[in-house]
Structure 1
Amino acid sequence: MELTKKEILDNAKTYKIRPYYTIKLQIQACDFELLLNDIPVFNYSVKGGMTNEIPLNCYILKSGEQNLKIKLTPISNQLQLSQQIDLSFDVGYNNIVGEKSLDQYIQSAKFQLPQEIKDKKLPYFEIKIPFNADVPWNYNYILEDAQDLSKQSDLLNQTVNNFYHILETKDSKKYFELMKESLKLQSDVEFMSRKETEKLLNDLDLSQIKKLYPLENYEIKFYANNKLVRFVSKTKDKDGNQYLYKYTVPPLIEGKLDGEGSFNYLFYLPKDKRELEVF
């Protein structure tokens, strides 16, 4: 495991230009899902209103046109989108200068939900907006070379149980093997310093898990032309999440309740491999 960590730390690259892309969201009274290049970024059930700024670099695999999609659906058991629904967002980037300073924000795309859409009380609404990104990396080969998973149900179901076993036995060595390429990508495209990468790796130690919840009934969601999958519970929590791999950790302060966490990874099957890895 230490060799794997060293390999990730030694993967660090130095870029002259370091663009940091984000989407600044304001959303109200709906369930929503955000995808970039058909890779799920974020989903949530917003009963009131929410403002959030979400990093996008990990979903931009190469320079060129990027395809942003947001899906809006009614909350809970409602059949139509509420008239209180709202959505606005702004996509853009800052270049990182020096250690962590940001230069001027540059807008790439923006959107405001028209009033006529709110008035129609639709059962569903989807907005697609392309924008261009210029990044100093190219990880597009990951999905180009990945295998189609749509007809590999036995392997997918096996992966669900194998990954649960890794968590159950706290097999950090095997866990890091599955995570290695994902961690390289994340530390690279988020321009992490060596110290930040070390913290990322240390925080992933499975020994933190106190209790692992039992596996629930699950379904498999496909993305990116069936190259990516996510295993999700068929039961939604109060925030609309469908986490399958849930666990508790000891409280940060003595006497408080245990903390809760979850693993909600995307998996893919690299070319010439027989075991899924974390994207």
Structure 2
Amino acid sequence: MKIINKLYYLFLLFFLVSCNSQEKTENIMSTEERITYISSKIKKYKDEPLYQIEIETLNNFEILINGFPVYTHNHLLPGTIKLNINPALLKSGSQNLEVKLYPRYNSQNIQNEFLSNKDSFILKMEKTSWKDGSLEEPELIINYELPKYKTDNHGEPDYEKPIDYSKQNELIKNFNFTAKIPYELKGWSESEDLSKVDKEILMNKISNFYYTAIDAFKAKNYDYLNTLYLNADIEWYQSEYFSKETIRKFQSKEGRKGKSISTTKANTTLYEQKMFSQKDSKLELYCDNRVIRLVHSSGPNKGNSAFGYEDIDQNGMKREIFIDLFLHIPKGSKELEIIR
């Protein structure tokens, strides 16, 4: 993974403020047009395997499948999650799971400098499958728990040799596994290597794309926004075998589905929706430099998508919504598209 130099942020900020907001509207698809089009692309299979990960920890962490970040947790709240990883599985065969474990936050909401010997991290990967409208009994694929002791020559814990994590500010663990899935997605497999694109040209394109997406979201131009996500949604829905009813639910939603965290009591009960500022953000490359996105660079939102908003509902509860906006340039093209 490579990080584009933050010196280009000033260029990004300039574009977010000053880009022309005119949008191409001739290709916008209505909700019904999208539902019909997407449904025609989704294939159904007799066997529909679903791979899931479950994590329990108080630490911060990032989970990558084949170099693609499927989940980032950087918060004081416990990181107990369960998620489907099929959208990151492009085809059957050997896959890679990478876990990056970071120090937790203390009671003052300040991230510790190092890991602790009291840290706990449990990860399970399971394979299940849709059958007659319900999921089958899962099969355990990976079962990992952060070890407390070094192992002997037989792979057994040596209780006289505890592992010291107190000088580590990061722990990386990789696993290989085999996935068998009936579909095949193009994804980023044929995308251009973005590290070879002129940085100034790339920044121009990314800045303009984010500005357009944010502007559309603020204007509640959801048909335009969902049309931008059309190809990405087709691959997402295929990987999870969505029915037409489920497709309709997502495509009819006002706004975009995003990760929601940090529900707290606000100082007001007035409804408010405020887009994230791009001031404290950076660009990150994934998947052998073929996928890129803008993320928060520090603080409790570090590593999460910079495309999103802070929301205060009618009950006065405040939360942050992080919406995926992963971009790539398809092979033979010069223009960015949303890939996830």
- Shorter-chain-normalised TM-score: which range? 0.7 to 0.9
CA-to-partner distance for each residue in 1:18-48, whole Å, 9 max, x for gaps?
Answer: 11110121223x2211101000011113647
Asked if 1:156 is matched to 2:203, the reply is: yes
127-136 vs 269-278, which moves further = 269-278
Asked if 1:268 is matched to 2:331, the reply is: no
TM-score after normalising by structure 1: 0.86
Counterpart CA distance in 2 for 1:166 and 1:263 is 11
Aligned to 1:177: 227
CA shift, 1:128, in A, is 0.5
CA separation of 1:258/1:217 partners in 2, compared to 1, >3 Å: closer, same or farther? Answer: closer
On the 8 A contact 2:276/2:309 being kept in 1, the answer is yes
Aligned to 1:165: 212
Question: Which of these residues, 84, 105, 111, is aligned with residue 55 of structure 1?
Answer: 84
Residue identity in the other structure for 2:202: L
152-161 vs 33-42, which moves further = 152-161
Aligned to 2:37: 7
Residue identity in the other structure for 2:226: F
CA separation of 1:212/1:246 partners in 2, compared to 1, >3 Å: closer, same or farther? Answer: same
CA-to-partner distance for each residue in 1:203-251, whole Å, 9 max, x for gaps?
Answer: 2547xx95434432421111111001111132333x5454422335573
1:4-83 counterparts in 2 under 5 A? 4-28=34-58, 30-45=59-74, 47=76, 49-75=78-104, 76-83=110-117
Give the match's secondary structure for 1:142. Answer: coil
On the 8 A contact 2:117/2:148 being kept in 1, the answer is no
Counterpart CA distance in 2 for 1:232 and 1:138 is 28
Greater RCO, 1 or 2 (C-alpha within 8 Å, sep 6+):
2
Q: Pairwise CA RMSD of aligned residues?
A: 2.5
Counterpart CA distance in 1 for 2:163 and 2:76 is 16
CA shift, 1:202, in A, is 1.4
CA shift, 1:186, in A, is 1.3
CA separation of 1:203/1:42 partners in 2, compared to 1, >3 Å: closer, same or farther? Answer: same
Give the match's secondary structure for 1:155. Answer: helix
Aligned to 1:212: 275
Counterpart CA distance in 2 for 1:210 and 1:45 is 22
Question: Which of these residues, 75, 87, 105, is aligned with residue 138 of structure 2?
Answer: 105
On the 8 A contact 1:148/1:227 being kept in 2, the answer is yes
Give the match's secondary structure for 2:54. Answer: strand
On the 8 A contact 2:187/2:235 being kept in 1, the answer is no
On the 8 A contact 2:35/2:247 being kept in 1, the answer is no
212-221 vs 186-195, which moves further = 212-221
115-124 vs 191-200, which moves further = 115-124
5+ unaligned residues in a row in structure 1: which ranges?
A: none
On the 8 A contact 1:25/1:88 being kept in 2, the answer is yes
Counterpart CA distance in 2 for 1:143 and 1:42 is 18
Aligned to 1:91: 125
Residue identity in the other structure for 1:231: L
5+ unaligned residues in a row in structure 2: which ranges?
A: 1-28, 105-109, 150-161, 257-271
CA shift, 1:7, in A, is 1.2
**Percentage of identical aligned residues:** 22
Count of equivalent residues: 271
Counterpart CA distance in 2 for 1:14 and 1:130 is 28
CA shift, 1:145, in A, is 1.2
Question: Which of these residues, 153, 168, 171, is aligned with residue 125 of structure 1?
Answer: 171
Counterpart CA distance in 2 for 1:177 and 1:55 is 24
CA-to-partner distance for each residue in 1:142-183, whole Å, 9 max, x for gaps?
Answer: 322101111332223432333223322434444233211111
Larger Rg: 1 or 2?
A: 2
CA shift, 1:89, in A, is 1.4
On the 8 A contact 2:194/2:289 being kept in 1, the answer is yes
CA separation of 1:49/1:31 partners in 2, compared to 1, >3 Å: closer, same or farther? Answer: same
On the 8 A contact 1:142/1:270 being kept in 2, the answer is no
On the 8 A contact 2:87/2:240 being kept in 1, the answer is yes
Give the match's secondary structure for 1:82. Answer: coil
TM-score after normalising by structure 2: 0.72
Aligned to 1:190: 240
Aligned to 2:183: 137
